[in-house]
Amino acid sequence: MLRHINQFASPKNFYALSCKLVHYFGGACLLLFVAGVFGGLLFSPPDYQQGESVRIIYVHVPSAWMSLFVYIVMAGAGTIGLIWRIKIMDVIARSSAPLGASFTFLALATGSLWGKPMWGAWWVWDARLTSELILLFLYLGYIALQSAIEDPRMAARAGAILALIGIINIPIIHFSVEWWSTLHQGPTVSKLDAPSIHIDMLIPLLLMALAYMCYFISAVLMRARCDLLALERNSAWVGELIGERSR
Amino acid sequence: MKSNLLDVFMTILKRDLSLGLSRSSEIANPLIFFFIVVMIFPFALGPESNLLQRIMPGVIWIAVLLSATLSLDMMFRSDFEDGSLELMLLSRYPMTLLIMAKITAHWLLTGAPLILASIFLGVLLNLPVESLLYLFITMMLGTPVLSMVGSAVMALTVGLRGGGVLLALLILPLYIPVLIFSIAAIDNAILGLPITGEIYILGALLVLAITLAPFATSTSLRIRFG
């Protein structure tokens, strides 16, 4: 069983398979993205309270979802790499980090753009905002650790431990920040009660979420392929590959 | 010769304590840093005593976090450089036990003096008795957590170039829950509200850290040695 997985996960096979996957998921991302953007900007109704500015949720909400999802992927792939010594899992974990940080940044930036007209402030110390900001710092810490350790294998394994420590801490941080903001914050922000979302808004939102997911998969595979080539530059299959190309 | 685990624990503890005491500046510097950070705040905010009394527990806790981060460096650095850490990894005793002893020694050398210093500063700054009491209790529960979480992250960065700033970057987000619950306990105590919830959560964080940190630290150290 393990041997089959190992064979499947060998860098050479992964490189060949991921080439196709990048194309499939990239194409799917494009289709879903176009559908989601048109659905969100043209066909979905404006909100009765927030007007047209509600449309930012089609960018904001999926990136907030992805910011957490990518962290879980990063920690999961890192752990698998740590335990079963599967090289491509290390590579995937490392390639996820900048993407996750970008999604987190996008969620914070779009949230802040939305907050200015709605709340009258770019930033409030709300529980969700604060824990998202801390998540950004966790990503940046991971990236900083990766660049500080020169040996790529050691960097990947150290990163896996750090991501695991982060995974244990994220619920604790989120919970504590939530408590903190309810204790300290007066009613400056009248939080809009989330109404059950209308189906015309839900469909574009889900389309965009799927587009983000496909984008993440194809982007992480592209990054992983580059990383893998650099890691395996002295191995035979890379030599063959380059030989084929140059012939 | 077969010695039991408690003897091993005590041996490492005594070794680290005597090594630490012989390098007294490494213990003194974080403490001096702590005093300086607390002292800077009145300069930034003005000498008005009402405001200072209101924010001082928070200021003292921030200074404790920063000073604890600085002091983490002495936990593994010298052992890493002279190779004794590698020998500990190769020994036949469980690494988690040895690490527990090292963390305990580190806390006795840096955490405990910080608690005393905070109480001393609190008395000097005229903090009310309740906030002094709860400052003490939250620190007794909180500073060991700082040492534990710190040891796990320190083990990842030991011996790296530019490790100091990197360590602060990695560790401070993880310290936020301890800070939040400690300050919440002190604030509630001043207002006369119940604080058992916060104290229980700090205790739970401590138990969680004691359970997981030695494993995380020993795995990290194994990784650092390749």
Per-domain boundaries in chain B: 2-225
* pLDDT the model gives residue A85: 85
* pLDDT the model gives residue B2: 56
* pLDDT the model gives residue A6: 64
Comparison of pLDDT for A11 and B138, the residue scoring more:
B138
- Does B169 sit within 8 Å of A179, measured CB to CB? no
Instruction: List, for residues B63-99, the tens digit of each pLDDT value.
Output: 999 999 999 988 888 888 888 988 988 988 899 999 9
Instruction: List, for residues A158-170, the tens digit of each pLDDT value.
Output: 999 999 999 988 8
> In 3-state terms, what secondary structure has residue A228?
helix
- Does B163 sit within 8 Å of A158, measured CB to CB? no
Q: Could you tell me if A208 and A33 are in contact, meaning their C-beta atoms sit under 8 angstroms apart?
A: yes
- Does A183 sit within 8 Å of B177, measured CB to CB? no
B156 touches chain A (CB under 8 A): yes
B61 touches chain A (CB under 8 A): no
- Does B180 sit within 8 Å of A179, measured CB to CB? yes
- Does A161 sit within 8 Å of B177, measured CB to CB? no
- Nearest neighbour of A177 by CB, restricted to B153, B180, B187: B180
Which chain B residues are Cβ-neighbours of A183 within 8 angstroms? 184, 187
Q: Could you give the ipTM of this predicted complex?
A: 0.88
Instruction: List, for residues B146-178, the tens digit of each pLDDT value.
Output: 999 999 999 999 888 877 889 999 999 999 999
pLDDT at A188 over 50: no
A193 touches chain B (CB under 8 A): no
A176 touches chain B (CB under 8 A): yes
Q: In the 3-class helix/strand/coil scheme, how is chain B assigned residue by residue?
A: CCCCHHHHHHHHHHHHHHHHHHCHHHHHHHHHHHHHHHHHHHHHHCCCHHHHHHHHHHHHHHHHHHHHHHHCHHHHHHHHHHCHHHHHHHCCCCHHHHHHHHHHHHHHHHHHHHHHHHHHHHHHCCCCHHHHHHHHHHHHHHHHHHHHHHHHHHHHHCCCCCHHHHHHHHHHHHHHHHHHHHHHHHHHHHHCCCCHHHHHHHHHHHHHHHHHHHHHHHHHHHHHCC
